[in-house]
Amino acid sequence: MAPRLEFSNFWAKDTTKGTPVVVTMENPNFSVVEIDGPDAAFRPVDKSRGKNAKQVTWVLLLKAHRAVSCISWLATIFWALLGTIKKRLIYREGVAMESGKLGKQKLLFTVIRVFLVTSLAILAFEVVAYFKGWHYFRNPSLHIPGTSDIQSLLHMVYVAWLTFRADYIAPAIQALSKFCVVLFLIQSIDRMILSFGCLWIKFKKIKPRIDWDSLKSDDVEKFGYEYPMVLIQIPMCNEKEVYEQSISAVCQIDWPKERLLIQVLDDSDDESIQWLIKTEVANWSQRGINIIYRHRVVRTGYKAGNLKSAMSCDYVKDYEFVAIFDADFQPNPDFLKQTVPHFKDNPELGLVQARWAFVNKDENLLTRLQNVNLCFHFEVEQQVNGVFLNFFGFNGTAGVWRIKALEESGGWLERTTVEDMDIAVRAHLNGWKFIYLNDVKVLCEVPESYEAYRKQQHRWHSGPMQLFRLCLPAIITSKITAWKKANLILLFFLLRKLILPFYSFTLFCIILPLTMFVPEAELPAWVICYVPVFMSFLNILPSPKSFPFIVPYLLFENTMSVTKFNAMVSGLFQLGSSYEWVITKKTGRSSESDLLAAAERESKMVNQLQVHRGASESELTELNRIMEQKEVAPKPIKKANKIYRKELALAFLLLTASLRSLLSAQGVHFYFLLFQGVTFLLVGLDLIGEQMS
């Protein structure tokens, strides 16, 4: 570090003594630099000094090379996109149209297609008017020429269109856009309040705690109370990829074996998968684990029917709590010791919910975007509602229920596809409280393909609307406080389940492109850009590593609004496939520690036939056949990509609107519509997910 100037001056005044000595050297091989002051030697050297023309040329060439590389990279991506469009959209190579029922399901696609055709016709008309010099759309006051200024028949038609647009179309779009903007702001305020609530929880370090001192006792009489009887249920259906790791993880939970029972509830209709699951259950049973296998012949009621059938067993009355894990969930060995103690000395507690963690969150772009949404859901929504309201929607898995709370709330019902939210609402109406543990995480998977994610989101958004129709009378007539009723109806159902997909689809996918053709109803830039970006910023806060994906996240959420809006309408009015249950496709991915544990178990595993030594000869033959099929697995067949018509139609609608925005020189609108249209195009061609890893 350079010496301070004041200290150097002071030292020079006090220590300068003696006679100066001049030293000369012959043939010096160094240069002499004149120093004017004590800090002169430490001043930065001008880097540009001494550069010759050759060095400048090389610097310019390097910068030009970088620019050309960037342009060529963009050109390559654009050319690949055009090639994919040609291959999938024109020649239909290796693609299949999206599966869906005819009839009412096509209504939304028909409406979007009508808007698209109308926008193309208006765009062509506007382009002709632009080259004719009729730039009336650039005038904010929309000056419409009089009769004396009419130049031709086409000009007269164009003026008539301007008059009709200003008098009839613009007021309707303005009214709808204002309504959607108000809903958008209300939902944004709700997100901000939740975010501030999460910050307050972190600042005050508020979280449910266990009184470990009261649990530590050597008294034998209290042993049964400290380790209550716990039932674990693993519902599954044709879960060939994940059944083994889920059963293995649950069987390794640290809890007294005599006070734990594991039910494997298999609804598989494939006999080979049934035998594989039976074999896995038998293996763990031979190791001393209290585990049983249950299979329903008639699969009614989907997951709710499966759980309801299991709870009807006579031995269930001996158990106090039940933990539920879906087939792809892998709890840690200390899961029960982290959750069950919260029920002690808390008789009003009905549910303890743990957080999900994802083994494949970095698999591709789609999984990263899902991770943003789910992190906000667990970190903010579930945690804030759990701390301040003692109520939230049960996530269907990774939770522990008090069996008494399930029974008093009516048990599992088969009336909707969201049986987890159904039982949570009914338990809340009966006065039971919930606890959410953000620190207790259970590993699971998120869908890696757009098709699987789309079907999952359809079920998650159509089911709540079904439930809202069925539960509304019970909520109104319940004995809970008016504040809790308002929270259930206005916030839990209407704002977060109905209004969110409605305004997102209507505002950004319909109104915004229409306003490009009706400038009188133009949306302000803060609605299109600033507020959505700020809301996306809040959503990404719980997962800070996802900040580079803030723009793709915003665009993709608007794209998913089509599926969510369609599901919301079908569930609210019971249209189309509102009661259709599609099992989310799993890949069976595990964490590194799980893979090491699995390899160790395989090395110690006994012969499969010895486990079934008491079986009949036909069963042994069937088991041998199944094991041979498992060892020699066929090569996976590459799945054909889907073509999603609604997303493609909206892509062309938004791209058409972006071209129209060029005529009126609207920069923010143009870029937003362009990028949003490209996102719809990528999703419509099934280019997001497994193919974009």
Evaluate the CA torsion angle 432, 437, 438, 444 in order and state its sign.
Answer: negative
Place of tokens 């919260």: 342
- What are the beta bridge partners of residue 441? 355
**CA gap 652, 647 in Å, rounded:** 9
Burial of residue 246 (CB within 10 Å: 0-12, 13-18, 19+) is: buried
**Mapping DSSP to helix (H, G, I), strand (E, B) and coil, where does residue 289 land?**
coil
Q: Which two tokens stand for residue 252?
A: 């390794």
**CA gap 652, 680 in Å, rounded:** 9
Q: Is residue 676 within 8 Å of 654, Cβ to Cβ?
A: yes
**CA gap 587, 447 in Å, rounded:** 8
**Mapping DSSP to helix (H, G, I), strand (E, B) and coil, where does residue 436 land?**
strand
Residues 6+ apart with CB under 8 A from 397: 324, 325, 326, 329, 420, 442, 444
Choosing from 266, 328, 420, 422, the catalytic residue is 420
Q: Is residue 228 within 8 Å of 318, Cβ to Cβ?
A: no
Q: How many CB atoms are closer than 10 A to CB 318? A: 10
Q: Is residue 121 within 8 Å of 653, Cβ to Cβ?
A: no
**CA gap 191, 389 in Å, rounded:** 16
**CA gap 389, 377 in Å, rounded:** 16
Q: Is 328 a catalytic residue?
A: no
Q: Which two tokens stand for residue 117?
A: 């055709």
State phi, psi for 400 to the nearest 5 degrees.
Answer: -120, 125
E-state strands within 445-585: none
Q: Is residue 225 within 8 Å of 335, Cβ to Cβ?
A: no
Question: What letter represents residue 594's amino acid?
Answer: D
Q: Is 267 a catalytic residue?
A: yes
**CA gap 106, 90 in Å, rounded:** 22
Choosing from 267, 326, 328, 422, the catalytic residue is 267
Which residue numbers are catalytic?
267, 420
